[in-house]
Structure 1
Amino acid sequence: MPSTSSDPEDKHSGQWRLIADLDELLHRARGFLHSQPALHINQLRKIVELRRHGPQVPGPRQPVFGVLERAGAVTAAFLRMPLPSRLSVTPLTVAEAEDLAAFLGSLDEPLPGFSAVHETAAAFAEAWRRRTGITGTPHNRQRLYRLAALTPPESAPPGRARVAVAADRKQLACWYGEFTEEVGMPAPPEEEGLRWADERIAYGGITLWESPDGTPVSMACAAPQLVGAVRLADVYTPLHLRGRGYAGAVTVAVSRAACAAGAAEVLLFTDPANPTSNALYQRLGYRPVRDFTAYRFDVTPTATAAA
């Protein structure tokens, strides 16, 4: 494998290597990935997904793994899932991002997209443009929050929290479709929504807030605990029920349950352009950690490619 260090005196550089399979990735990079679960939560989740589906993950390409090694220790890692075929990378210095662009360029493989903490993503996109002439377009930015100290509102709305069960699956699938459209993605087919609900119901991963008459009015999901971290996601209240405190109440309930289950870190991502959700989570005791950005890459190189 080629070394990506263009300057042997650059102490930020190391050697990028492709990894043959998931077992080897875990053997080499487990300690590194487990060292900062919050910053590495996306890569850890993708590893869990690969383990669940096995090596034959649906998609046009097989997964690709790589690590950056320095003095025999892994200091960064990347994964590319078949769908979407976007590289997911742990945080890098500018020099490491430059080296990764050189390494990936030497592989002569298409790169539809790239996601990482904002600074890493921007540095890589610029390095990739200079090297290949292919321009990156940021299309999704998220802010990672970590729970500091849970601070519930002084009064909760009427009703109670409960864990979703199989009888809720159709309602949950409907809400999942509405949530997906609201964040700017195509609405999934009903079958996909039902699978989404069934997977989470199976491990008790969806909490509902229901009104006093038993009608569900809001939901929040929690992924299984990973290296002491639990990620919350898909907090959703139908539009006509908003402004009544339901989202805050269900978030408090699922956050409290995660802490009670022994989670050392409770995490969630928001759209930084959404002032309502960002203000809500901060009122509840969540504090911002880092912003993450995903880039799409144009397929047609320009004349600016590096020689």
Structure 2
Amino acid sequence: MDTSTWRRVPDVHSFLARAGGFLRSRPALHTLTLTVCEGLRARGPQAYGDEAPVFGVLEQDGEVRAAYLRTPPYRLIVTPLTPEEAGSLAAHLHAVGDPVPGVNADAATAAAFAGAWRARTGVAPRLHERLRLYRLGELQRPEPAPEGRGRIAESRDRGLLARWYAEFVRDIGGGGVQDPGAWADRHIADRRITLWETPGGVPVSMAGLTALVAGQIRVAPVYTPAALRGRGYAGAATVEAGLAALAEGAEEVLLFADLANPTSNGVYQRVGYRPVTDFAVYDLAVVAVPR
């Protein structure tokens, strides 16, 4: 007899107290949940928007087996589930009346939940994006390497970073809720953006880093303006960001790549990233902004 039960958790601190050990047990697969929680823990419940985030765990005999969170208006983030667990999560969220604009999870979990949500609500899911999660193996500089150098973004780069962040959000099809200027200020203060610049000192690409949590750091976002793509700048910036992550003490350096973009997937593999698993993002009921 299955005695597992989904339970709501009131805030990020209670969530980490209850589910932290479970999340840290598989940091690569749980990277989204870990890094979002770290942002909420460090910056407060409005770190990703004005509405309060929601959290839940699946427990069996007092042990956490799975977890979810959502920071409105973003999609639901879910740890890996069996089809049966996905069905029970859909029932739980429907019963408590939570809106579910979309889901972001490993591919099997996302498909199972989208199907269960459709069976319960009649809402047809729309596949928004397929992603591949990569883990850094042996870091290799791109060949041929573009001329220039990497450097950490500074206060003089604020306007550029704000503009590039807004362009990045637009390019991935999101509305975004974070103010670009505030995003730039925070990442500059935390020294979490690496720029690749030409020998003349002109920035041409950026690669960001999430905070170190559970031994993992994720490279995100990576952005090169459209007019400057195809010259190796993104690969060079990604390598420099990876080196910064390793220097900070990361045991795992991760990144996501859109499977619809074979160029970026090829670049990341050439500089040393190896596939971990595939993720999928579905819209449910409304067009949601992406994580």
Q: Give the one of 200, 205, 212 matched to 1:225.
A: 212
Runs of 5+ in structure 1 lacking a partner?
Answer: 1-7, 300-307
1:248 aligned partner: 235
Task: Give me the CA root mean square deviation.
Answer: 2.1
Distance of aligned partners of 1:164 and 1:133 in 2 relative to their CA distance in 1, 3 Å threshold: same
Question: Aligned residue pairs: how many?
Answer: 286
Flag the structure with larger Rg. Answer: 1
Distance of aligned partners of 1:56 and 1:167 in 2 relative to their CA distance in 1, 3 Å threshold: closer
- In structure 2, C-alpha distance between the alignment counterparts of 1:170 and 1:110, rounded to whole Å: 35
Deviates more, 1:91-100 or 1:174-183: 174-183
Letter in 1 for 2:133: L
Distance of aligned partners of 1:165 and 1:231 in 2 relative to their CA distance in 1, 3 Å threshold: same
Runs of 5+ in structure 2 lacking a partner?
Answer: 287-291
Letter in 2 for 1:123: A
1:144 aligned partner: 133
2:249 aligned partner: 262
2:39 aligned partner: 49
1:203 aligned partner: 190
Distance of aligned partners of 1:202 and 1:59 in 2 relative to their CA distance in 1, 3 Å threshold: closer
Distance of aligned partners of 1:59 and 1:173 in 2 relative to their CA distance in 1, 3 Å threshold: closer
User: Which of structure 1's runs of 4+ aligned residues deviate more than 6 A?
Assistant: none
- In structure 2, C-alpha distance between the alignment counterparts of 1:121 and 1:141, rounded to whole Å: 10
Task: Give the alignment's TM-score, normalised by structure 2.
Answer: 0.91
- In structure 2, C-alpha distance between the alignment counterparts of 1:283 and 1:59, rounded to whole Å: 36
Task: Give the alignment's TM-score, normalised by structure 1.
Answer: 0.86
Mapped pair 1:239 → 2:226? yes
Distance of aligned partners of 1:124 and 1:274 in 2 relative to their CA distance in 1, 3 Å threshold: same
Give the C-alpha shift of residue 61 in structure 1. 4.1
Letter in 2 for 1:89: V
Letter in 2 for 1:145: Y
Mapped pair 1:279 → 2:248? no
- In structure 1, C-alpha distance between the alignment counterparts of 2:14 and 2:82, rounded to whole Å: 24
Q: Give the one of 154, 159, 164 matched to 1:170.
A: 159
Give the C-alpha shift of residue 155 in structure 1. 4.0
Deviates more, 1:43-52 or 1:90-99: 43-52
Give the C-alpha shift of residue 234 in structure 1. 2.0
- In structure 2, C-alpha distance between the alignment counterparts of 1:60 and 1:170, rounded to whole Å: 24
